[in-house]
Amino acid sequence: MKNKDIYRKLLMSAYGLASISVVQALATEQLDVIDVSATADQKDEQGKDDVYQRNITNLYAGKETIERYKGASPADLFQEFNGVYSGDARNSGAVDPNIRGVQGQGRIPVTIDGTEQALTTWRGYNGANNRNYIDPNLIGGITVEKGPDLASGNQSGIGGAVKMRTIDIDDILKPGQKVGVELKLETSNNSVKERIPDFKWGQDYRVVGDATPGDFSTVTLVKPKTKGKYFKDNAMRLAVGVKEEKFDLLAAYAYRSKGNYLAGKGGASKYEGVIDEKSGRDLKQIEPNLPFAASIYRPHTEIPNTSSAMESYLLKGSLRPTDKQTVKMGYRHTKMTYGEIMPSRLDFSEFHGYIPQWPLATVKQQAFNLDYAYNLDNPWINFNAGIWYTRTISDTNTSGGNPREAKSKDVDWTLATTQCVTVNPDAVNPHEFLVLDRDCLARIGDPLVKQNPNTDGKYNYVNAAQVNAYNTRRGIHLSNTMNLTDQLDLTISAALQKERLTSSHFNAKPNPSSTYESPPRAGRRQEWDIAFNFNYRPTNWLMLTAGARYNEYWSFDDYLNYLLTSGELYKPYHYDGVDYPATVNVGQSISYKEVMTQKEWERYDEINKKLFGPDSEVCKTEACEREEEKLSKEFWKITGEDSIQDGYRYHRKGIDQYYHSDGRLHREDNPFYNGTLKNEKVKHPVTGETVDKYQRYYSGTFAKKLKDEDKLKKVEK
């Protein structure tokens, strides 16, 4: 399948072919360019001025503002910006920017010192996150652009951009200083240390025998605490800098450890509703969990899976061989450990106030950037170039599986030991709901374990929720600004980026019947672009800009290619000694029931009682046999191939709906809407209630054998 896209952009303004900026200034005045040796205060002032002077809606926050509003998690960095938010704010240790409602992969790139490391993370029925892992303690400035800008490389997307810089030497040293040290310490309350359950990974589930794995395993459940503690949310940053005429160096270390936070109290009554099927339907469509959030996470109680720990190292340096050249280098290393759970596993309100605490996720990230600037007095050369590289190794709870599952099941042992587990109706907490008879397990289960040993750990518990991923990105960007005249500038730029992703999961082959578990992902991508931009200033109050950008990329699915070349993609399904060929789901079959008329039901019920009722007798005369045969023929004429129960005719043959080319079912094919089943209100012959004549009682997918001509032959870019 072709997965290649080439597009052109001609951006002259957000709404037209020309953009006009009115700048109030004296006829002979022009703002000076802030050079690379500007102080931190000058950089912040320049960033604030750009909010009003640049030809794009943008916001800026400097080091002082960031440290005032940075909060306890990366998402809190956006508190200063109107209309800017982050998805999955407390459950990822990353930011997924949303600018004026636009969010997602490639739509809002996040760069740190010019580097990018966004990772697309599957979140089940909640879609996907575009995660950008950052340590707020290292950020010294943020620029948010609310919309696309005519810039080359990873600097702008369709929804805007978030550009961050790490702390610089001028953030540490005061003007005139050559050596400086900065130490920051923080602590707060309203959090408690996370309590990770013992999942007994690597142990034989038959030997451990301590409850059922899967969605409703009580091993994940903890009783939330209701009182926070001091010194469970601590942070520090140590930075040392040296600045000389020809060079400067900066080294920094940052650390933060925060436990699970406690929910607030104010306004909790608005979120304590109980949603039933009828009254809650509209609210569920808005947000499935929000209307009853306070019924699951009680006011001023611990919120599991919100802890985080970050440790970062930063090394930056600048070299100025001449007053016309600058070389900058940066290296950043961050390790994060944070709480994470899939959204579909949050609703455990039925477990008497117990909430699931999943294992912690871990991310290790490295980033390197090297930038070169060459600015001559020559109006034709103002050259900038940069290369960068990022590497992210992550172990996240994003597969859709459960944090404790057996690699495979010993069916004989499981069936034989079912009698060893009983339900405790008087249980006061979920951990007491199932009672295990250890003597029974030893008597019945141990001999079966010896007969079927745990070879290669095939019956061990594993973390089926975890995905191990390895992602690298590398890029280069070039630009040059030429002063064609005193009033006209031309900027030409180009960029190239390559990305590779590999990942692994304990179940490497996709399960077509699973709607909640995602297989591993692996692939490669390359993107490049060129752009130009004219800046024309005919007067001191008018500025016109015009330009264009050409972008091209290709991507290749390495995981799909592996499945195809290894034969796993179309491998027959083996069950009970029989190989079943590969099939493909082509639609959904709707099974329906029909309300019988009063006359039909009464006649059926009468015959049924005579033939099969408790008062029916074996015929002893020919006349009785002839009557029974007559009734039997009438009975089968009434039922046909269907089944009848409680006044309903359950039609054996359903109605098939086929998927369209977009992979979806369409409303016009639904028999309840297109007139195939002409519904009307009728009286139920048993209950007397007024109900729909036709009612759906089951629906499921149906498949057909995959033809050779429909099989994928080759994976293409």
696, amino acid identity: R
Give phi and psi for 701, each to the nearest 5: -75, 155
* Closest to 118 measured CA to CA, from 127, 126, 109: 109
Question: How many CA atoms lie within 13 Å of 115's alpha carbon, on the beta-carbon side?
Answer: 29
pLDDT in tens, 666-682: 989 999 888 889 899 99
- Determine the average pLDDT of the residues in 332-339: 95
Q: Which of 139-153, 155-169, 189-203, 469-483 is predicted most confidently? A: 469-483
The confidence score (pLDDT) of residue 616 equals 77
* Dihedral, 199, 203, 207, 212 alpha carbons, nearest 10: 40
The confidence score (pLDDT) of residue 348 equals 56
Beta strand spans in 453-581 (E): 461-462, 467-483, 488-504, 523-539, 542-557, 573-575, 578-580
> Does the pLDDT of residue 3 top 60, yes or no?
no
CB 147 within 8 A of CB 14: yes
Question: What percent of the chain is helix, strand and coil (3-state, nearest 5)?
Answer: 20, 40, 40
| 31 band by pLDDT with thresholds 50, 70 and 90 | very low
pLDDT in tens, 342-401: 887 776 555 567 888 999 999 999 999 999 999 988 899 999 999 999 999 999 998 888
Cα 17 from Cα 247, distance rounded (Å): 44
> Average per-residue pLDDT in the chain?
84
pLDDT in tens, 581-631: 888 888 999 999 999 999 999 999 998 888 888 877 788 888 888 888 898
CB 180 within 8 A of CB 174: yes
5, amino acid identity: D
pLDDT in tens, 485-494: 999 999 999 9
> Does the pLDDT of residue 509 top 70, yes or no?
no
**Neighbouring C-beta atoms of residue 8, cutoff 10 Å:** 9
Instruction: Specify the pairing of strand 681-683 against strand 690-692.
Output: antiparallel
| 575 band by pLDDT with thresholds 50, 70 and 90 | confident
Helix (H) or strand (E) holding 252: strand 247-258
* Dihedral, 219, 351, 194, 295 alpha carbons, nearest 10: 160
Taking the alpha carbons at both ends of the chain, their separation in whole angstroms is 7
The confidence score (pLDDT) of residue 687 equals 92
Cα 144 from Cα 573, distance rounded (Å): 52
For residue 228, give Cα distances in angstroms to 184, 258, 335, 474. 23, 12, 26, 43
The percentage of residues in the chain with a pLDDT greater than 90, rounded to a whole number, is 41
The confidence score (pLDDT) of residue 347 equals 62
The percentage of residues in the chain with a pLDDT greater than 70, rounded to a whole number, is 87
For residue 168, give Cα distances in angstroms to 70, 145, 256, 315, 353. 18, 22, 20, 10, 48
230, amino acid identity: Y
Cα 551 from Cα 7, distance rounded (Å): 6
**Neighbouring C-beta atoms of residue 387, cutoff 10 Å:** 17
Better-scored residue on pLDDT, 461 or 228: 461
- Determine the average pLDDT of the residues in 45-54: 74
> Does the pLDDT of residue 70 top 80, yes or no?
no
The confidence score (pLDDT) of residue 342 equals 87
Alpha helix ranges (H) inside 390-549: 411-416, 438-440, 446-451
| 30 band by pLDDT with thresholds 50, 70 and 90 | very low
Determine the Cα angle at 215 with ends 211 and 217, to 5°. 20
The confidence score (pLDDT) of residue 51 equals 76
The confidence score (pLDDT) of residue 37 equals 52
The confidence score (pLDDT) of residue 343 equals 81
The confidence score (pLDDT) of residue 248 equals 95
| 1 band by pLDDT with thresholds 50, 70 and 90 | very low
Better-scored residue on pLDDT, 350 or 157: 157
> Does the pLDDT of residue 13 top 50, yes or no?
no
- Determine the average pLDDT of the residues in 231-246: 92
Q: Which sequence spans correspond to the domains of the chain?
A: 263-300, 570-592+653-717, 597-646
Cα 415 from Cα 448, distance rounded (Å): 11
- Determine the average pLDDT of the residues in 118-135: 85
